[in-house]
Chain A
């Protein structure tokens, strides 16, 4: 158990819909990261937050947004969903960004039908 909690574990929805994925980082970790894992794109970095502020952005679509709240949990919002958004979405956290040691949650499996 990494200490990172993601909900929901599985989610099935329809095209055009909007979903919110939630992440609670390990106790004490200020940095939260979101990654997308799909068969065609592999594992891709989406976005990073540090203590409530956006720190870095990767290949995140404009239809996607994220935020980190004062209690350090984070949410990833995916809207106007398309079939290609079906993927495993990982949240990870770290206490020190320089180590690169990320603690990953079990992921949220999103299926768009």
Chain B
């Protein structure tokens, strides 16, 4: 079974600064997908960024980028130029391939607070 671990229960950052959230995972699969989802106080889960394991290039979405280290099974999220609206809980998630399509395994989450 896959496991996803987020070792930082809480993080804080000043507005306009950069913060990195950590995530490690464990799997025996070779093809899989990794995600970061954001859950703001409104509680709705929102996809932030997605990485396919067979792609070596790290995914980037505007101010959000990942550092994907397949051998180390590490998948960190970097948020640049942090904004107050980035305050939320962030979940790292894993999805295998084949019969696991659609089944996301989530980490425990990291609460990020952006201070003005």
Contact = CB atoms under 8 A, between A and B. Distances in A.
A8 interface: no
Interface string B24-48: 0000000001010000001111110
A107 B104 contact: no
Task: Give the size range of B's interface with the partner.
Answer: 20 to 34
Interface string B74-87: 00000000000000
Interface of B: 33, 35, 42-47, 50, 91, 93, 95, 97, 99-109
B78 to A, nearest CB: 20
Interface residues of A, number: 26
Interface string A41-78: 01111001000000110100000000000000000000
B47 A102 contact: yes
